[in-house]
Structure 1
Amino acid sequence: MGESARALLDRVSAGFTELAADLPDESGVDGPIGWTGYGEARARARARTGERESVVCGTGLVGGAPAVLVAFEFGFLGGSLGGATGARIAAAFARARELRRPLVALVATGGSRMQEGMRALSQLQRIAAESARNRELGLPLVAVLRDPTTGGGWATLGAGADVTLAVAGAQVGFAGSRVRPPGDHAAYTAESQLAHGHADRVLAPAEVPDVLGRWVRLLGTPSTEPAPPPAALRPVEAPATGWAAVRAARVRHSGAGTRADAYLDAYFAWREDISGDRCGGVDTGVRCGFGWRAGRAVAYAAQCGTPTAPAGFRAAARLVRLADRLGIPVLTLVDTPGAANDAAAERAGVGPAIAELFGAVAAARVPVTTLVIGEGGSGGALAFAAPGRTWVTPDSYFSVTSPEAAAAILKRPPEQVPAVADQLRLRPQDLVDLDIARGIVTPVPPPG
Structure 2
Amino acid sequence: MVLYDDRPADPPAERPQEWVRCTRCAGLVYGKRFGRTLSVCPDCGWHAQLTAPQRLDQLLDPGSASPVDHVEPVHDPLGFHDTRPYAERLEDARATTGLREAMICVRGRIESRPVVAAVMDFRFLGGSLGCGVGALIAEAARTCVRERTPLLLVTASGGARMQEGVLSLMQMAKTSQAMAELDEAGILTISLITDPTYGGVAASFATLSDVIIAEPGARLGFAGPRVIEQTTGERLPEGFQTAEFLLEHGMVDDVVPRSALRPTLGRLLSLGSPARPDAEAQGASPAGAGAIVRGTDEVRPREAWDAVRLARHPNRPTAADYADHLLDDFHVLHGDRLAADCTAIVGGLGRLGGRPVMLIGHHKGGPGLAERQRHQFGMATPAGYRKAARLMRMADKLGLPVVTLIDTPGANPGPESERSGQAIAIAENLRLMSQLRVPVVAALIGEGGSGGALALAVADRVLVLENGVYSVISPEGCAAILWKQADAAPTAAAALRLDARELLRMGIVDGVVPEPEGGAHQDHAKAAALLGAALHTAMDELTPWEPGRLIRERRSRFDRFGVEATIPVGTGGGSS
Q: Using structure 1 for the length normalisation, give the TM-score.
A: 0.92
Distance 1:239 1:308, change over 3 A: farther
User: Match for residue 180 of structure 1?
Assistant: 228
User: Match for residue 148 of structure 2?
Assistant: 100
Show structure 1 runs of 4+ deviating over 4 A: 222-225, 227-232
User: Match for residue 213 of structure 1?
Assistant: 266
Residue 181 of structure 2, aligned match among 123, 133, 136? 133
Confirm or deny that 1:248 pairs with 2:310. yes
> Shift of the alpha carbon at 1:25?
9.8
SS of 1:67's equivalent in the other structure is strand
Structure 1 window deviating more from structure 2 (378-387 vs 94-103): it is 378-387
User: Match for residue 160 of structure 1?
Assistant: 208
Confirm or deny that 1:275 pairs with 2:334. yes
Aligned-partner Cα distance in 1 for 2:101–2:253: 29
User: Match for residue 419 of structure 1?
Assistant: 491
Aligned-partner Cα distance in 2 for 1:349–1:438: 31
User: Match for residue 542 of structure 2?
Assistant: none
SS of 2:513's equivalent in the other structure is coil
Aligned-partner Cα distance in 2 for 1:16–1:101: 14
Aligned-partner Cα distance in 2 for 1:25–1:389: 55
SS of 2:196's equivalent in the other structure is strand
User: Match for residue 319 of structure 2?
Assistant: 260
Distance 1:429 1:84, change over 3 A: same
Distance 1:402 1:313, change over 3 A: same
SS of 1:170's equivalent in the other structure is coil
Superposed, 1:109-120 pairs within 5 Å as 109-120=157-168
Distance 1:228 1:300, change over 3 A: farther
Contact 1:63/1:217 (CA < 8 Å) preserved in 2?
no
Which amino acid counterpart does residue 4 of structure 1 have in structure 2? T
Which amino acid counterpart does residue 308 of structure 2 have in structure 1? V
Confirm or deny that 1:18 pairs with 2:77. no
Aligned-partner Cα distance in 2 for 1:238–1:356: 36
> Shift of the alpha carbon at 1:410?
0.5
Aligned-partner Cα distance in 1 for 2:468–2:300: 9
Aligned-partner Cα distance in 2 for 1:421–1:401: 10
SS of 2:78's equivalent in the other structure is coil
Contact 2:66/2:106 (CA < 8 Å) preserved in 1?
yes
Structure 1 window deviating more from structure 2 (180-189 vs 402-411): it is 180-189
Contact 2:213/2:252 (CA < 8 Å) preserved in 1?
yes
Aligned-partner Cα distance in 2 for 1:149–1:429: 55
Aligned-partner Cα distance in 1 for 2:301–2:125: 68
Aligned-partner Cα distance in 2 for 1:201–1:13: 20
Unaligned runs of 5+ in 2: 1-10, 12-48, 279-284, 293-298, 365-377, 515-526, 531-576
User: Match for residue 9 of structure 1?
Assistant: 56
Aligned-partner Cα distance in 2 for 1:409–1:109: 58
Aligned-partner Cα distance in 1 for 2:111–2:314: 37
SS of 1:139's equivalent in the other structure is coil
Which amino acid counterpart does residue 66 of structure 2 have in structure 1? T
User: Match for residue 307 of structure 1?
Assistant: 379
Contact 1:172/1:188 (CA < 8 Å) preserved in 2?
yes
Unaligned runs of 5+ in 1: none
Superposed, 1:13-412 pairs within 5 Å as 13-14=60-61, 15-23=64-72, 30-35=76-81, 36-177=84-225, 179-182=227-230, 183-184=235-236, 186-221=239-274, 238=300, 240-253=302-315, 259-305=318-364, 306-412=378-484
Aligned-partner Cα distance in 2 for 1:280–1:177: 18
Contact 2:273/2:399 (CA < 8 Å) preserved in 1?
no
Contact 1:229/1:370 (CA < 8 Å) preserved in 2?
no
Aligned-partner Cα distance in 1 for 2:319–2:509: 19
Contact 1:59/1:66 (CA < 8 Å) preserved in 2?
yes
Contact 1:332/1:385 (CA < 8 Å) preserved in 2?
yes
Contact 2:273/2:400 (CA < 8 Å) preserved in 1?
no
Q: CA RMSD in A?
A: 2.3
Aligned-partner Cα distance in 2 for 1:239–1:288: 33
Distance 1:179 1:170, change over 3 A: same
Distance 1:413 1:85, change over 3 A: same
Distance 1:228 1:408, change over 3 A: farther
- How many pairs align? 434
Q: Percent same amino acid among aligned pairs?
A: 37
Distance 1:394 1:103, change over 3 A: same
> Shift of the alpha carbon at 1:105?
0.3
> Shift of the alpha carbon at 1:23?
2.9
> Shift of the alpha carbon at 1:18?
1.3
> Shift of the alpha carbon at 1:177?
5.0
> Shift of the alpha carbon at 1:411?
3.8
> Shift of the alpha carbon at 1:326?
1.0
